[in-house]
Amino acid sequence: MTGHMYVNMTENATTIEQIALGPRRSSRRQGRTLASNRYDLGREENMRQVMGDGGWRRWLRPLSPPATDGFSFPTRP
């Protein structure tokens, strides 16, 4: 790995510290923040945007048991 590749990897990495400290200005891209990644679920507004209101409740809802025994499947008439 070259030094240039390492710099690119560390520059684009999102760490827990960056999320906890809040938005920071990037030196390369003026006007954009590290928190502007809409898929970064560490930020509450982004989680709402991606998963909707009450997203964690919908995703973490316990699954119901299977309706069949797993060996026989109902057929359509």
Specify the pTM: 0.17
Contact 24, 34 (CB under 8 A): yes
- With tokens 């991606």, the residue in question is 50
pLDDT at 47: 56
pLDDT digits (tens, 9 = 90+) for 30-77: 545 545 555 555 555 555 555 555 555 555 555 555 566 666 666 766
Residues 6+ apart with CB under 8 A from 25: 33
pLDDT at 58: 56
pLDDT at 75: 72
Contact 33, 26 (CB under 8 A): yes
pLDDT digits (tens, 9 = 90+) for 5-38: 656 555 555 555 555 555 555 555 554 554 555 5
- CA dist 62 → 36, 51, 55, 57, 66 (Å): 32, 17, 14, 9, 12
